[in-house]
Amino acid sequence: MMLGVLLGVVALLLIVAWWAQERIAYQPPRSDEPVPSFADRVAYTAEDGQPLFALVIGPQAASPARAGARSLVVLAFHGNADLAVWLAPWGAELARRTGATVVIPEYRGYGGAPGRPTAEGLRRDARAALALMRSRSGPDVRVAYYGHSLGSAVATELASESPPVVLVLESPFTSARDMAAAFGTPLLKWLWPVIGRISYDTEARVRQLDVPVWIAHGDRDFVVPTRFGRAVFAAVRRPGELLIIPGAGHNDLAQSGGAAYWDWIERALR
């Protein structure tokens, strides 16, 4: 009797995990916050016809022609329950400190963009953002990728297709499988190859990347455990620096880290 109940509970959990994984992985916030005056909203289209937009901050916001062979563009991918417009103040500060142009793409289904977010959809969105950046900046511009949380997985996948000069990750997770196991049941880790439609295996991908990878994580991150960031860094083929910020949670690394955080990211981009 008890065995039957247990098997029933496990079966129900697996059905929910299979059906709801996109709903869990992608949670677009509701917001009608306007684009800040210091950012340029640029519209473009993904390869499947999906309308998209990105916020461009810094030297190329006003004049794409200012790009040159030595210019740097940071392609910045935000996290799950986040929006490009919310990342814009961080982008403005990064542009001020480094002189880089910061491009913050919005995902389909987020920030008023139509469509429904999926793993393949975000893959196409990332490719489209890179194509937009290259069309504005030219083929010789130096490109860095930045990703926070979900964005760290998106940025790493793009890096495996089109390597940047540096990959900067904040609060990365090792894989979707490990996240499912951490917040569901350990059984999901072993069954994920069967039921999982989302992989995001960042730990495996960084082993193959021939680019420097820099990682920052808060030591009080209860969304993505700090051990995941450490594990990703341990797997990196070309390690940059690992920054563990005392007292920082999931979304406040820049605020909690202060000068140490900004020194870290400026070194990464140099």
**Close Cβ partners of 4 (under 8 Å, ≥ 6 residues apart):** none
Confidence of residue 2 (pLDDT cuts 50, 70, 90): low
The structure's pTM equals 0.89
The pLDDT tens digits of the residues spanning 150-175 come to 999 999 999 999 999 999 999 999 99
DSSP summary character for residue 171: S
What phi, psi does 112 have (nearest 5°)?
90, -5
> What percent of the chain shows pLDDT beyond 70?
83
Best CA proximity match to 178, nearest among 167, 193, 163: 193
Q: How many H-runs (helices) and E-runs (strands) does the chain carry? A: 11, 8
The total of other beta-carbon atoms located within 10 Å of residue 56's CB is 25
CATH code, domain carrying 229: 3.40.50.1820
Which runs of consecutive H residues, i.e. helices, occur in 80-236? 84-98, 119-137, 150-161, 176-183, 187-195, 202-208, 226-235
- Predicted local confidence at residue 264, as pLDDT: 98
What value does the mean pLDDT take over residues 28-39? 91
Q: Residue 83 is part of which domain span?
A: 2-269
What sign does the dihedral 248-111-202-102 (CA atoms) show?
negative
pLDDT digits (tens, 9 = 90+) for 211-227: 999 999 999 999 999 99
Give the whole-angstrom CA distance, residue 105 versus residue 125. 8
Find out whether 214 and 167 touch, Cβ atoms under 8 Å: yes
Q: pLDDT tens digits, residue range 51-72?
A: 999 999 998 765 565 555 468 9
Phi-psi region of 109 (alpha: psi -120 to 50; beta: other; left: phi over 0): left
Averaged pLDDT for residues 16-26: 65
Question: Which amino acid belongs to residue 3?
Answer: L
Q: What's the number of domains the chain is made of? A: 1
Position 22 scores a pLDDT of: 74
* Structure confidence by residue, pLDDT tens digits, 97-148: 999 999 999 999 999 999 999 999 999 999 999 999 999 887 778 999 999 9
